[in-house]
Amino acid sequence: MGGTIAVKASDDGALHALAAEDLAALAPGSAVELETVDFAIGSSIALTGNQLLRLAQEVIESIERGAEGVVITHGTDTLEETLYFLALTVPRGDASVVVTGAMRPADAPGADGPANLAAALAVAAHRPATALGPVLVLDGLIHTARFAAKVNALSVGGFGSPAAGSVGRVVEGRASVWLTPAYDDYLGLPDAADLPRVELVRMVLGAEPSALAATLATQPAGLVIDGFGGGHVPPALLGVIDEAIASRVPVVLSSRVGDGPTNRSTYGAPGCELDLQERGALMAGAISGMKARLRLAVALGCGLDVAEVFPLD
């Protein structure tokens, strides 16, 4: 899927340079038998909903054809979104699905891509990993799709699971799984060429209704509002939220904090969760705004009742 793991320096800056087969050669000695596929070339900042849908289909078909594991190399900028999308759309089964990437270009001193890929292959070949659903493997740690997040823009240990911790590790080429999730994020794979358009709007102190109103005017299929703390908005925005709900645009409140779920039953002031739910908004629960956006899009694309898929505990 491209990304920093596959780029090298050029006169025009670091650009895509390694095909899947070249990447596979960077992880020599792996005991697994590999089939390589070049799926999307370039930076993950340019990925689209259509590509996510096609990727999930490709993963499902690879598993149906007999793959025991699928490793996806991916740019780190949007990695956690693709990872969560796969958790929403690929049924958990007998095959492992592992996403990895790199924080340093392939030709940089101390490039981390080969080590990350070798660790990802070790996890993909480790049977207990199939119980985890799609996971991120980076810097020797295994992170689940629900909680994996890019927590540092540049360091090699740039990913974590702030709300839950990692669930396993790779040491000396051996994968260990310590914990398995007691939940499953799977909803289904929309049978469509594109995802319903769900927009994400972030709250800031003193936000005026204008940005949210302008977004609603574009007639999105759904809105996720990345709110303060436990999922709160300035009271000045409540009129736009009422308008969205009255025009049947589902509104989901996430937390902009990045660690910790939204509230459900504590605060009563206008703009807080009791008021928002009373107006018909849904709380995201355990997932970040960017993952709530994908969950809402997949739920809408599968024709599911959105009130059944939020909040997540």
3-state secondary structure of 171: strand
Which is nearest to 148 in space by CA: 136, 130, 157, 140? 136
Output the smallest distance, CB 77 to ligand ASP, in A.
3
Residues listed for the chain? 313
Residue number, 12 or 305, with CB nearest to ligand ASP: 12
Residue burial 265-300, b: 16+ Cβ < 10 Å; e: rest: eeeeeebbbebbbeeebbbbbbbbbbbbbbbbbbbb
Output the smallest distance, CB 172 to ligand ASP, in A.
26
Structural tokens at position 174 = 């051996």
Output the smallest distance, CB 207 to ligand ASP, in A.
28
Q: Which of 24, 26, 43, 83 binds ligand ASP (CB under 6 A)?
A: 43
* Contact between 3 and ligand ASP per CB under 6 A: yes
Sign for the CA dihedral angle at 29, 93, 56, 175 comes to: negative
* Contact between 45 and ligand ASP per CB under 6 A: yes
Find the part of the chain contacting ligand ASP (CB under 6 A) among 38-46, 133-141, 286-294, 301-309: 38-46
CA distance 97 to 89: 12
Output the smallest distance, CB 51 to ligand ASP, in A.
13
Residue number, 73 or 166, with CB nearest to ligand ASP: 73
Count of chain residues binding ligand ASP (CB under 6 A): 11
Binding track over 56-95 against ligand ASP, x by CB under 6 A: -------------------xxx------------------
Q: Which of 101, 134, 250, 271 binds ligand ASP (CB under 6 A)?
A: 101
* Contact between 4 and ligand ASP per CB under 6 A: yes
Query: Of residues 147-206, which lie at the interface with ligand ASP (CB under 6 A)?
Result: none
Residue with the shortest CB distance to ligand ASP: 75
Q: What share of the chain is helix, strand, coil (3-state, %, to 5)?
A: 30, 20, 50
Structural tokens at position 225 = 């509002």
Strand partners, 282: 252
Output the smallest distance, CB 101 to ligand ASP, in A.
5
3-state secondary structure of 142: strand
* Contact between 44 and ligand ASP per CB under 6 A: yes
CA distance 221 to 247: 10
Residue number, 143 or 232, with CB nearest to ligand ASP: 143
Scan for tokens 């996403």, then name that residue. 99
CA distance 304 to 243: 22
Q: Which of 4, 76, 78, 100 is catalytic?
A: 4
Let me know if 180 is a catalytic residue: no
Q: How far, in whole angstroms, is CA 102 from its chain's centroid?
A: 16
Output the smallest distance, CB 131 to ligand ASP, in A.
28
Structural tokens at position 85 = 């999308």
Contact residues: ligand ASP, CB under 6 A: 2-4, 43-45, 75-77, 101, 103
Residue positions annotated with a catalytic role:
4
